Amino acid sequence: MSNIVDQITGHRRMRRNRKADWTRRLVQENRLTVDDLIWPVFIVPGTNVVEPVAAMPGVNRMSIDRLVEAAKEAADLGIPALATFPNIELSLRDETGSNCLAADNLINEATRALKRHVPAIGVITDVALDPFTSHGHDGILREGEIVNDETVEQAAKAAVIQADAGSDIIAPSEMMDGRIGVIRQALDHAGHQHVGIMSYATKFASAFYGPYREAIGTGGLLKGDKKTYYIDPANGTEAIRDAALDVEEGADMLMVKPGLPYLDICWRMKEAFDLPVFAYQVSGEYSQIKAAAMNGWIDGDRVMMETLLAFKRAGCDGIVTYFAVEVARALSKKG
């Protein structure tokens, strides 16, 4: 009997491998594991503070003591690393973000506490100035302009101070030109040859960062936008060129930020460079999933897993995600 579908497919039927759970497991190309996760956390001054971030359901700002407890759970779950972000008092924020240079600032105290009490978890610290400036920009503002070279010099100093406090990986996210090379040199001069640099190599001028700005208290402060230093969302080739400079300057790992709307960039970066590539599933990506799930419009758990697997499929070696603990718990239940 001649079957028209057999004639057309030449007997090649894709559904054979999809017919049962066991065949699907057998041919599954990508897997998400707890080793893929980096957990971004928000820190506030004080003790015993756990403060929900309204725009990010399920995410809290924590004082250092509570962060240490949360980090212990994360370490027990097998999460390899945390990325820390401070929400400091408004009175400490100024035009140049000078508090970033204080050895005992919130971020450095948190690093010391984490390294002392939870040595198994890696600590990744950001050197951008936005948590420290009165205007919410990532760099030093002079006469309406974010000045590049002065910002880089200050970032390099901040990086050394963060490394002195015990930071394992410095993650420059302020997109100033030359920053990776200058920071590498400064770290090496200070004897921190083993402190790595995870470059936020391709950071786009995105509207997906909104909830994060609430979390660190810069939302109301930011004047203007960050288009003179972040990459235009329209540009892919420019992003690869920017990353190439960071690779030349000595980055150890590369980051793409935001994540899901920029999977093409993840893929291109992985093809172009021999370095680990990470995606940052940013606050707005997290919040839109949570909001839709809370309304019953999507299955939040499944969408969470699907987005993270998509990063793996796009070539990412790992994902910075606010879902990290939730995912790690779900993965450990699955066994």
Binding site for ligand PBG (CB under 6 A): 126, 128, 130, 138, 173-174, 209, 212-213, 226, 282-283
> CA 166, 172, 174, 179 torsion: positive or negative?
positive
The verdict on whether 203 is a catalytic residue reads: yes
Q: Which is nearer to ligand PBG, 23 or 255 (CB)?
A: 255
CA dist 66 and 47 (Å) reads 8
Catalytic, out of 226, 257, 270, 312: 257
Q: How far is the CB of 170 from ligand PBG (least distance, A)?
A: 13
Q: Which is nearer to ligand PBG, 126 or 168 (CB)?
A: 126
Q: How far is the CB of 226 from ligand PBG (least distance, A)?
A: 6
Catalytic, out of 19, 72, 203, 333: 203
Q: How far is the CB of 31 from ligand PBG (least distance, A)?
A: 25
Of 207, 267, 203, 276, give the one whose Cα is nearest residue 235: 203
What crossing angle do the helices spanning 64-77 and 106-117 adopt, rounded to 10°? 40
CA dist 188 and 325 (Å) reads 34
The verdict on whether 334 is a catalytic residue reads: no
What crossing angle do the helices spanning 300-313 and 263-272 adopt, rounded to 10°? 30
CA dist 286 and 316 (Å) reads 18
Q: Which is nearer to ligand PBG, 146 or 269 (CB)?
A: 146
What crossing angle do the helices spanning 64-77 and 324-334 adopt, rounded to 10°? 30
Q: How far is the CB of 287 from ligand PBG (least distance, A)?
A: 9
Residues labelled as active-site residues: 203, 257
